[in-house]
Amino acid sequence: PAQCRGQIEGGVAQGVGSALYEEVMIGDDGRVINPVFRTYRVPQSADVPDTEVLFASTNDDLGPFGAKSMSESPYNPVSAAIGNAISRAIGVRVFEQPFSRDRVWRALQAGDAGSR
């Protein structure tokens, strides 16, 4: 359980990074145009909220000894939850990640034009 809990917490941290910080910028020619990866922002421990992990007793005959993959599953819902929280807070939906302050500000300026 401790290893699985760590994988879940890591997946949540990845989701937070994807939703709020991480962005690889690609130029028209397909090249990465981020100036340097030294300044590429990823979440640190203080950026990730405490994650409550609950386990359900299940069995899966497909994996060895009933094992299941767990490391990527918690990643998927995090950015959707953060996007929904932003939308509820400001009344406008932001459609592009990361949900940076600039993108949130532009969505607010656009008002209803930015929401669906």
pTM: 0.80
Residue 57 lies in a domain: yes
Residue 116 lies in a domain: no
The pLDDT of residue 115 is above 50: no
Cα–Cα distance for residue pair 59/49, rounded to 1 Å: 30
In the predicted model, what is the mean pLDDT of residues 9-26? 93
In the predicted model, what is the mean pLDDT of residues 46-61? 86
Q: So what's the pLDDT on residue 64? A: 80
Residue the block writes with tokens 């910080």: 21
Q: Given the residues 9, 52, 72, 96, select the one marked as catalytic.
A: 72
C-alpha to C-alpha distances, 47 to 11, 25, 50, 56, 76, nearest whole angstrom: 14, 22, 10, 27, 18
The number of distinct structural domains making up the chain is: 1
Residue 66 lies in a domain: no
> Is 72 one of the annotated active-site residues of the chain?
yes
